[in-house]
Homo-oligomer: A and B are copies of this chain.
């Protein structure tokens, strides 16, 4: 059974979580499991000694799927401190010496090959019944000014059907109203900026969607990782890490993507947080200029499906 199976066009495939389909889903997963080669090669020009924090390891929730070690290597060699940050991400911290610094890794992960799951029945949870750990994802954050966009959110989405459909309505609106372009990249643009300028890159789409969800009392958080262009038309742009978001419905977080607004195969999560502030791939506490950036996320053809 070859990798060609991935070419089956199922962008809107909906895996329903009801018990009745559970067996079927297991079967399908068995058929579609795949291996993805992940990697990056990032180079900085560092002025002075600069502490750097990375979120380049796969998220703890995906560690069980790793088939190779997932370890950041640096050139020159520097000590790396690994810890779980307050959002539950796998962070690394190092002190970059002056000069060139290269961050590299290559690892292998097994993936279900199933597109982002759709669960139309997932319902909104009353605020007073949400798990306490979820509560912060209802509030303002740096790039998500819930206070400034709550009236607009109500005007646009209050009459939308509650639950999954409402989050989807938010994604549809953002996807259709905002124009994507790398030339629109602006690291200080907030959700309000996206709403007013109607342009942006992937993080901008998610920030606006997250803000609308929170304003509607639906917890939403930012997610970053390997997008996994598996089974979709090739993107002419160089591979990059991507952003999407998660909304809390029913009893768990679900993946949404206001930028692409399609169900994708092969996303590999690196980090979640309130917004891009918490999920920066690298945060430099000093002057470190990015001079090169490469990301790899490729299906390893035939590796697993033939099993």
Q: Could you list which residues of chain A lie within 8 angstroms of chain B, going by C-beta atoms?
A: 51, 53, 81, 83-86, 91, 93-95, 126-128, 132-133, 135-136, 138-145, 147-149, 151-152, 177, 183, 185-188, 192-193, 195-198, 217, 277-278, 283, 285-286
Contacts and interface: CB of A to CB of B under 8 A. Distances in A.
Contacts of A85: 132, 135-136
A151 B93 contact: no
Given A86-B135, A145-B142, A277-B141, A51 B128 contact: yes
Contacts of A187: 147
Contact of A127 (B51, B148, B177, B278): B51
A95 B128 CA distance: 6
Contact of A277 (B140, B151, B183): B140
Contact of A128 (B93, B132, B142): B93
A93 B278 CA distance: 26
Q: How many copies does the complex hold?
A: 4
Given A85-B135, A86-B135, A145-B188, 18 more contacts: A51-B126, A81-B128, A85-B132, A85-B136, A93-B127, A95-B128, A127-B285, A138-B285, A139-B277, A139-B283, A140-B142, A140-B143, A142-B147, A147-B187, A147-B188, A152-B152, A152-B195, A186-B186
Contacts of A147: 142, 187-188
Nearest to A142: B140
Contacts of A196: 145, 148-149, 151-152, 188, 192
A270 B84 CA distance: 27
Contact of A91 (B126, B132, B139, B188): B132
Contacts of A133: 86
Contacts of A81: 128
Given A126-B51, A142-B142, A285-B217, A86 B132 contact: yes
Contacts of A86: 86, 132-133, 135-136
